[in-house]
A and B are shown apart, each in its own frame.
Chain A
């Protein structure tokens, strides 16, 4: 895809929404929507996305948009898709329509996992995209099962006896791959071409597809708004957020950094990890976190051989 072509495409997701400056998910959505070249229905879980882009009568969406509760974006879009299939079978519709659902990590990794799993197992032809910012950002930055270990959140507060979240993050992309659906991928807003290629593949897949995308919440990560994309790139380079895809069971690594940057470089740039470095550096823990990243990376490499 050429950059030139992109600029000529109509914006299906427009500006003027109420997301924070430097928020990750609007970047992600613009990239995803610019790939869509058929009529599309978008579903969304409750979260920052729904409350900043679709407060009726205001909307950033130039496509049909359906919003439901926190835990059932996947169920809702699977209902829409099933109705579409019925209409098509009966000859009441003959247009090709695609279905995309968006959910944050709280609504996808946690409360929405059951509904997502059911949707994937039933085989609906939908694309589910998780915008993973590693916290319940909309309700005031509580921990989620996507929050990285060591992060300070309002429900894993740092103190004399706690270094923040003590549990490692759940690997949702692997869980989705284990559903045996035709297309699963992990992407990042910093690698826009990779994300768009994956979106295109997913939309062309005859069956369910899932893409997990790192898209920061700068309020919970504590970075300057202009650093959002750069910070994601650093995560990819540190290999804590690898870019890969699983196509019909075949694992493929999409990006291997020339030099793997130390994980603490990424941690240092975010206030949610400040306590790991100030007033004194928690060397032992930082080494442990690095070892975790290394272990996961090696494990992924072995899957992608």
Chain B
């Protein structure tokens, strides 16, 4: 398999195309511009559609339309733009239309800044818009995972008829690493019998996000919640490193997991028994593995590029069985390996 150097955002875009994405709607915002720019060149080559919308609101609703028509559709943006998309995402979640939304996150709140951030964790994993809904949220830790996880995101979105999100960040989107690209997916293999493609010889397909009658809305929500339970049971993904003998387990995802891994290496050199658990799906969250580690007597240090969001989910999973510490930085800053290392040494 040939390895090539690619920028995170471009690798993600190519990964999406190879996963069968043939519809992209975007809008300019830094630091994700490479995604629409790449798509504007690449989509015509694969007979796909690139549309630049006049706003993020329009882009997500174009995806709603294309996804409903049975196309593998996606949009990308960065934090303030993802906020604008929330109404559309909520409608899509209710209507159970599969699609992929990419957030190359930057610092907030407000217009914030252009530096990397993990402060959109709550927005990504707790619904984001109005109503009781969830996205399947993937967190890439390498440029290779940008490619791999966007393919998986499209598959899982289709499997569960649910929007999926890639929660990346400015560093992950802008850095270059070697990647191996997968083969082009055979579009004939992607079947969406529920899609609204014209009735012809079948019964009516319906895509709807309105339940004005109370009993209808209850039924819609029950159906969604049952689906979310299935996703929680089957789709938890995470990676562990050196946890077996560890006294302290670092919990971090995406960019901060790379910083945590380096700090773990320094601490190991000092003879400190430190491990790492890296959630790959942020929703569903790896609650059980954390509970098991807590039951085995491990302590935890959660490392985030925010003032503390995922740490709440870790505390819930650990449920007082062990101690959970936190190291985070306010948006604008990226933690250094030394800072995390010092925090580890304070604890151990």
- Chain A: residues with CB nearer than 8 A to chain B? 46, 67, 69-71, 106, 110-111, 113, 136, 138-140, 142-143, 145, 154-157, 159, 161-162
Contact = CB atoms under 8 A, between A and B. Distances in A.
Interface string B25-37: 0111110010011
A169 to B, nearest CB: 13
B33 A111 contact: no
A117 B288 CA distance: 52
B76 to A, nearest CB: 13
Contact of B44 (A71, A106, A162): A162
B37 A155 contact: yes
B33 A142 contact: yes
Nearest to B44: A161
Nearest to B31: A139
Contact of B28 (A69, A139, A157, A159): A139
Given A71-B55, A110-B55, 14 more contacts: A69-B80, A110-B54, A111-B55, A138-B30, A139-B28, A140-B33, A142-B33, A142-B36, A143-B52, A154-B37, A154-B40, A155-B28, A155-B36, A157-B40
Contacts of A111: 27, 54-56
Nearest to A170: B54
Interface string B110-138: 01000000000000000000000000000
B269 to A, nearest CB: 41
A141 B50 CA distance: 17
A106 B56 CA distance: 12
Contacts of B54: 110-111, 113, 145
Contacts of A154: 33, 37, 40
B41 interface: yes
A67 to B, nearest CB: 8
B28 A106 contact: yes
A110 B27 CA distance: 10
Contacts of A156: 40
A142 B38 CA distance: 12
A110 B55 CA distance: 7
Contacts of A106: 28
Pick the 7 closest A-B CB pairs, nearest first: A139-B28, A110-B54, A111-B55, A155-B40, A136-B28, A142-B28, A154-B37
A69 B111 contact: yes
A67 B111 CA distance: 10
Q: Is the interface of A mostly helix, strand, loop or mixed?
A: loop
Contacts of B28: 106, 136, 139-140, 142, 155
Contacts of B27: 111
Nearest to B78: A139
A142 B28 CA distance: 7
Contacts of B44: 161-162
Q: Is the interface of B mostly helix, strand, loop or mixed?
A: mixed
A138 to B, nearest CB: 8
A154 B35 CA distance: 11
18 contacts: A67-B111, A69-B111, A110-B55, A111-B56, A138-B30, A139-B28, A140-B28, A140-B33, A140-B37, A142-B28, A142-B33, A143-B52, A155-B40, A155-B50, A155-B52, A156-B40, A157-B41, A161-B44
A138 B29 CA distance: 9
A139 B111 contact: no
Contacts of B80: 69-70
A142 B33 CA distance: 9
Contacts of B84: 71
Contacts of A140: 28, 30, 33, 37
B128 to A, nearest CB: 18
A229 to B, nearest CB: 27
Given A154-B33, A161-B44, A142 B52 contact: yes
A161 B84 CA distance: 34
A3 to B, nearest CB: 38
A139 B55 contact: no
A111 B84 CA distance: 11
A139 B33 contact: yes
A159 B41 contact: yes
Contacts of A138: 30
A113 B58 CA distance: 13
A77 B54 CA distance: 22
Contact of A139 (B30, B50, B56): B30
B54 to A, nearest CB: 4
Interface string B79-120: 010001000000000000000000000000001000000000
A67 B112 CA distance: 12
Nearest to B50: A155
A97 to B, nearest CB: 25
Contacts of B29: 139
A269 to B, nearest CB: 25
A7 to B, nearest CB: 36
B288 to A, nearest CB: 41
A71 B50 CA distance: 22
A46 B28 CA distance: 12
A187 B27 CA distance: 28
Nearest to A67: B111
Contacts of A69: 80, 111
Contacts of B55: 71, 110-111
Contacts of B37: 140, 142, 154-155, 157
Nearest to A109: B54
A172 to B, nearest CB: 12
Interface string B4-41: 00000000000000000000001111100100110011
Nearest to B84: A71
Contacts of A161: 44
Nearest to B27: A111
Nearest to A142: B28
Interface centre among A111, A138, A156 (most CB of B within 10 A): A111
B58 to A, nearest CB: 9
A162 B43 CA distance: 13
A138 B56 CA distance: 17
